[in-house]
């Protein structure tokens, strides 16, 4: 889905953060913005879950929030169409998936080519999908980590922007490994967004180059 050549824009970006849960990555991104580390503003925090803890935090932080329940729509297509409308109304430059538990359709991805990022708690292309910390433990890998990547219709397979590596310890549980990875997620996700709006990300033939 990525075009052959893409250069990220150098501008003050308008972000939409999508989340379904606790929102610790959203908080890391917002904190980095408040500290002046990223040239962007969060113009929308969107959730598919009205009771997502991350959404509550966004409200407390006085950010514009929106939650839409897919069950209130006749189809996924209608649901996504409504989200797309809200995003276009706000002139969103970049969507950051941060624990958003729904798969975006190819149509949705095409509306925002090279303008959707995701954070994944493994070293892609190893362990795509769900419960990946558990899978890492089951495989006995010595290292795992986190990946920020562009979102394309191929789930978890878009161009890789940044990765961080963490060791897997012999006495790790899913919880301890997740925590070690999460600490790195909170560093590389804001960093990737910063690079994006510094106009420093280029995609050529699906590889990301950092200028
Ligand atoms: C993170 O582990 C992220 O990598 C994955 O979902 C989790 C979201 O956590 N995509 P949080 O809601 O940001 O705390």
**Residue located nearest, by CA, to atom 1 of ligand 1:** 99
Pick the more confident residue, 69 or 1: 69
Residue with tokens 């009205």, as numbered in its chain: 50
**Ligand 1 atom closest to Cα of 181?**
2
**Cα atoms in the 13 Å half-sphere on the side-chain side of 21:** 9
Angstrom distance (rounded) from CA 136 to CA 120: 13
- Residue ID of nearest Cα to ligand 1 atom 7: 99
Q: What is the pLDDT of residue 134?
A: 98
**pTM, full prediction:** 0.97
Enumerate the domain spans of the chain: 5-205
> Across all residues in the chain, what is the average pLDDT?
97
- Atom in ligand 1 nearest the alpha carbon of residue 20: 12
CB of 19 shorter than 6 A to ligand 1: yes
The pLDDT, as a whole number, for residue 4 is: 82
| Separation CA 35–CA 165 (nearest Å) | 25
Say yes or no: CB of residue 22 within 6 Å of ligand 1: yes
Q: Where are the alpha helices (DSSP H) in 35-173?
A: 53-60, 76-89, 106-111, 132-139
* Highest CATH level, class, for 5-205: alpha beta
Burial of 199 by CB count in 10 Å (0-12 exposed, 13-18 middle, 19+ buried)? middle
The residue among 48, 155, 56, 145 whose CA lies nearest residue 101 is 48
Q: What is the pLDDT of residues 20-75, one digit of tens each?
A: 999 999 999 999 999 999 999 999 999 999 999 999 999 999 999 999 999 999 99
* pLDDT-derived band at 154, boundaries 50, 70, 90: very high
Q: What does the pLDDT read at residue 140? A: 98
In this prediction, residues 101-115 reach a mean pLDDT of 98
How far is Cα of residue 127 from the mean position of the Cα atoms in its chain? 17
205 CA to middle of ligand 1, Å? 28
How would residue 3 be classed by pLDDT, with cut points 50, 70 and 90? Answer: very low
Residues in the chain: 211
pLDDT confidence bin for 178, thresholds 50/70/90: very high
Residue 186 near ligand 1, beta carbon < 6 Å = no
Give strand pairing partners of 117. 96, 150
């Amino acid at each position: 889905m990525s075009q052959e050549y893409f250069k990220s824009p150098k501008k003050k970006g308008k972000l939409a953060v999508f989340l379904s849960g606790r929102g610790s990555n959203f908080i890391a991104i917002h904190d980095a913005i408040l500290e002046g580390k990223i040239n962007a503003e969060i113009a929308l925090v969107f959730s598919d879950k009205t009771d997502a803890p991350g959404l509550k935090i966004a409200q407390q932080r006085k950010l514009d929030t929106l939650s839409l329940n897919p069950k209130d729509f006749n189809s996924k297509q209608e649901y996504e169409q409504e989200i797309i409308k809200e995003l276009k109304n706000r002139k969103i430059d970049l969507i950051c998936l941060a624990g958003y538990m729904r798969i975006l359709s190819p149509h949705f991805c095409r509306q925002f080519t090279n303008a959707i990022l995701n954070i994944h708690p493994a070293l892609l292309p190893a362990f795509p999908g769900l419960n990946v910390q558990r899978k890492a433990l089951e495989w006995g890998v010595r290292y795992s980590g986190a990946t920020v990547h562009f979102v394309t219709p191929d789930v978890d397979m878009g161009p890789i922007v940044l990765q961080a590596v963490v060791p897997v310890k012999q006495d790790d549980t899913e919880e301890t490994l997740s925590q070690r990875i999460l600490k790195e997620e909170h560093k590389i996700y804001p960093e990737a967004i910063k690079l994006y709006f510094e106009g420093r990300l280029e995609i050529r033939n699906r590889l990301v180059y950092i200028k």
